[in-house]
Amino acid sequence: MSALFTDWRRPTFITSLNPGLLGYDRLLADLHPRIELVEIRLDGAWAALGAFMGKDEDFARAKSIISQAREQSGRPVLTTFRTENEPGSQIQITDEAYEQLMLCMGEVADYVDLELSYPLMNTDAQTAAALTANPRAQEDLDKRVAKTVGQLQRDGAKVILSRHFWQPSPDSVEEVLDVLRHQVALGADVAKVAYSPADAAQLAALQEAGRYAFEIIHKPTMLIGMGEIGRPTRLAGPQAGNWGTFVTVGAPASAPGQLPLAELELRYPTTV
């Protein structure tokens, strides 16, 4: 198995598991040999409670889940706690608790998914727009994210800086490249951005951005088109800006449009 996110001929295969679902332990122990990185959706472990309170026992439980996942799977582990800030989870958490949790995960996980916009987590849309439009305020937000990225890396974790857009998008190639450049400038080991293309033009913009990213972004990127229209991006490889792709193997999809591993194996039949 080659190093992750380094082979320009094919994407790294990632599968996502939710510790809050029935059968989690079995899926973790019986991973398909083609799976190279296991994403543990920590937010799922708190779904029954509806909130992550940030108590000592919460952090201890999170560390235990990740440590056990690494041991049971025999694979590198990516820790993700998706928030209401980047729709995909209904779990309530403050930006301070989220930051502390991510730093805690940096001590036990191989990769940490850090939401690019997490400092705005508890900010209403109007205030968030005003802050990001203010250069000085945006600089302060960036410094906070960069500081967290740096601490995670010093603790030995690699950082996937992520951003998700659920409204129909993107409308231009440059729109996508701007986000990727921003993520890389803040120190990301992998820059990940997911869009929701609503038509062929938006899908084409995302795909063209991926081809440019392969040439001009000097870090691995993950460009994802969510939903049915975006499915072609999940088959794409590094030369289309997609150095890693999420696949399903017996577990439910963690995002719309994810493909079964079997479909990816047809396109990339052997590891190299």
Given a cut of 80, whether residue 219 has pLDDT beyond it is yes
Average pLDDT over the chain reads 94
Q: 12-26, pLDDT tens digit by residue?
A: 999 999 999 989 999
Beta bridge partners of 192: 162, 222
The predicted structure's pLDDT at residue 87: 66
Under DSSP, the state recorded for 205 is H
Peptide bond just before 19 cis, omega within 30 deg = no
- The secondary structure of 53-112 as a DSSP string is ---HHHHHHHHHHHHHHHHHH-S-EEEE---TTSSS---B--HHHHHHHHHHHTTT-SEE
Under DSSP, the state recorded for 153 is H
The predicted structure's pLDDT at residue 1: 46
Domains and CATH numbers, the chain: 12-266 (3.20.20.70)
Q: H or E stretch including 125? A: helix 125-133
Q: 200-212, pLDDT tens digit by residue?
A: 999 999 999 999 9
Q: How far apart are CA 219 and CA 235, in angstroms?
A: 20
Given a cut of 70, whether residue 62 has pLDDT beyond it is yes
Q: 146-197, pLDDT tens digit by residue?
A: 999 999 999 999 999 999 999 999 999 999 999 999 999 999 999 999 999 9
Q: 89-122, pLDDT tens digit by residue?
A: 778 899 999 999 999 999 999 999 999 999 999 8
| The token pair that represents 22 in the structure block | 């029935």
